[in-house]
Amino acid sequence: MPRVRRTDKKPDPVDVAVGWNIRQLRQSAGIRLERMAGQLDLSFQQLQRYETGASRITAAMLIRIAHVLEVPAAQLLTGATEAANDRALQDDPEEHQAALALARDLLAIRDPAVRRSLQLHLRALARAGRETLSKA
């Protein structure tokens, strides 16, 4: 896979996907941002940058975060491959901003069951849309 040098200052979609997973798992576990940052010996601002995708996470830190969250490290990478392959998010700033706004809206929903239900519905709608496009 060719190396892509990002000259813009926008977060990479992979970093956004990983950060989103971290935040969702942290919130589902009822862990406050400040507490988890302390457990990782980070400032809460740095952990917040990881969660938004503004800062990249090293492999070692990814494993430490997984340990604190008590999940396999691979679980933090869920959706990262799809994000890497989604050219629309990488190439269209408006689409990227819309996707980030949607992620923020989902994260604002406090009830994990409701949030998960919406995620499943959105995934089903996206799948149906891709299938419709491929048949056309």
> What CATH number does the domain containing 89 carry?
1.10.260.40
- 116 in any annotated domain: yes
In the numeric block, which tokens belong to residue 59?
A: 């492999």
How far is residue 65's CA from residue 80's CA, in Å, rounded to a whole number?
A: 16
Tell me the torsion sign for CA atoms 94, 97, 99, 105.
Answer: negative
State the average pLDDT over residues 27-56: 94
User: What does the pLDDT read at residue 108?
Assistant: 86
- 8 in any annotated domain: no
Task: Convert the pLDDT of each residue in 117-128 to its tens digit.
Answer: 998 898 888 888
**Domain range for 103:** 13-135
- 49 in any annotated domain: yes
Nearest to 21 by CA among 61, 50, 64: 50
How far is residue 22's CA from residue 41's CA, in Å, rounded to a whole number?
A: 16
pLDDT band of residue 131 (cuts 50, 70, 90) is: confident
pLDDT band of residue 43 (cuts 50, 70, 90) is: very high
- 94 in any annotated domain: yes
How far is residue 136's CA from residue 122's CA, in Å, rounded to a whole number?
A: 21
Task: Convert the pLDDT of each residue in 71-99 to its tens digit.
Answer: 999 989 887 777 766 655 556 667 777 87
- 6 in any annotated domain: no
- 47 in any annotated domain: yes
- 129 in any annotated domain: yes
Q: How many structural domains comprise the chain?
A: 1
What pTM value is reported for the model?
0.60
- 1 in any annotated domain: no
